[in-house]
Amino acid sequence: MTHSMQTKSNSLPRGLGLLHDPTLNKGTAFTDAERDSLGLRGLLPPQIQDQQDQVTRVLGNLRKKPNALERYIFLLSLQDRNEMLFYRVLQDHIEEMMPLIYTPTVGQACQLYGHIFRRPRGLFVSAKDKGRVEEVLRNWPREDIRVIVVTDGERILGLGDLGSNGMGIPVGKLSLYTACAGIDPAQCLPVTIDVGTNNQSLLDDPLYLGLRQRRLTGAAYDDLVHEFVVAATKVFPYAMIQFEDFANHNAFRFLEKYRNRICTFNDDIQGTAAVALAGIYSALRITKGDLREQRLLFFGAGEAGTGIGELVVSAMVSEGLPEAEARRRCWFIDSQGLVVKGREKLAAHKVGFAHEHEPMTDPLEIVQKLAPTALIGVSGKAGTFSQAILEKIAGNVERPIVFALSNPTSMAECTAEEAYRWTGGRAVFASGSPFDPVVLDGKRFVPGQGNNSYIFPGVGLGVMACASQFVTDEMFLAAARTLAGEVNESDLEQGRIYPSLQRIRDVSAAIALAVVEVAQKRGLARKELRGNIPAAIRAIMYQPRYPEYA
């Protein structure tokens, strides 16, 4: 929500108390009148500067930092002292800032969380809190929470089990909810459920800040997560809960358990699916293809891969293809090779994509046999898309779709340059983390970044705008189609299949509108929006502008 342009000074803390409150502090932007009325005279340098002057200073200092991690630390320190200025910098320079506050830099920040720790941010619920989780949640100072991002730190990006160090992920995600969709930071709550870690290097690290124990499992683990869900929905009844970076075996279970009971979704499954499907739709505008005729080969059959597969199937079915045929157009390779019927102990989420076929283990042979039109990389393994594989698909398809979606950048299945070079510049490429533009034979290619931030902030804004009871797959399908529709011809001419991040707020508002329309159509909206719905959505979007303290 936007800050009131005028706030009564008698309702504010005074002096250093005001300067030390990051949600109220304006730093050198306090006017002479405000300095007198709020007891700030002498506590600030005499020169008064506006917010843009402060942004200039922040950018100058930020860009002098020697590496991305130092820039990340600098930005979090800014957030801790002047929240509105932090979000102004993010919003106005989103393309430069997103790789710093989220992937890939957030991965390194999580690995070193205990070493770079400055001050706490978010809420830690640990195994020691069993039986009193509601009490812990009530310690949070704000009541009107609308978005909760929660992780247990077991599968952070492609980095694995980072325990309580994973707090960097919900903190970063919620920063993007605000920067990309204008959800008031006062209505956001990052949560880490600390059940221990099986990462021995963390357990041996004297600066590790989490529980020093092996991970809680089984019924005790499920009971703690359930206690959190029950308490969160009681304490914050209008909150949407986003599950983030849970391990595969838990992510699918919790999504199925709670999706029809509370307002929740899993971004690794559903958000990734929507942004990938949007990329496929955009890519097909370049290749002049039909979704129903594509053959997709997924490298990786975890949360992201099967989540994309399920949404692609839903899209194909909605366009007239029988479900069985739609599924036959999605093939998966996991650690044991091609996912086929007859394999023993096949995980439940893979069963729908296990087709009749001879077992195969060599990826190059699989590509040769199946002749896919698109490669979707969600394996978490760098180099998976080898030169031989990319040359093979380029030999079969005039414009192959190549998505190397694993995060962070070091885990991408191939680089942008490799994708373009090994396909003779014919690949339609996207990645999960950013790559610089590539010049090949005099032509400039701008890689698309299939970043979930194109999807989840807008979905959250739509859910919040109408107080939707649930978050549904239909909403993500609508979000994917809306995102694809925001890609213009000039983007496509450069090979870019996602809109510029500079337009992310407009994109999020459009996605929010699509989500509201689905919610109202399905009777899920607890708050009915009438009249000019786009204007109503825009009206609740937070703007990081300094108010006047009268």
List, by residue number, the catalytic residues: 102, 173
Q: What is d(CA 340, CA 371) in angstroms, rounded to the nearest whole number?
A: 16
Q: How far is CA 445 from the centre of its chain?
A: 25
Residue 477 in tokens: 């399908």
> At 431, which helix (H) or strand (E)?
strand 428-431
Sign of the Cα torsion 215, 218, 224, 226 reads: positive
Sorted by sequence, the CB contacts under 8 Å of residue 404 that are 6+ apart come out as 377, 385, 412, 413, 414, 415, 419, 429, 430, 431, 432
Sorted by sequence, the CB contacts under 8 Å of residue 205 that are 6+ apart come out as 114
CB 367 within 8 A of CB 392: yes
Question: Read out DSSP for 130-152?
Answer: TT-HHHHHTTSS-S---EEEEE-
For residue 233, is it left (φ>0), alpha (ψ between -120 and 50) or beta?
alpha
For residue 350, is it left (φ>0), alpha (ψ between -120 and 50) or beta?
alpha
3-state secondary structure of 501: helix
Q: Which residue has the tokens 């337009």?
A: 503
Sorted by sequence, the CB contacts under 8 Å of residue 298 that are 6+ apart come out as 305, 306, 308, 309, 330, 331, 332, 333, 376, 378
CB 438 within 8 A of CB 415: no
Sign of the Cα torsion 318, 324, 326, 332 reads: positive
The phi, psi pair for 124, rounded to 5°, reads: -100, 120
Q: What is d(CA 260, CA 284) in angstroms, rounded to the nearest whole number?
A: 33
The CA distances from residue 346 to 64, 149, 262, 343, 506, in Å, are 51, 30, 29, 6, 42
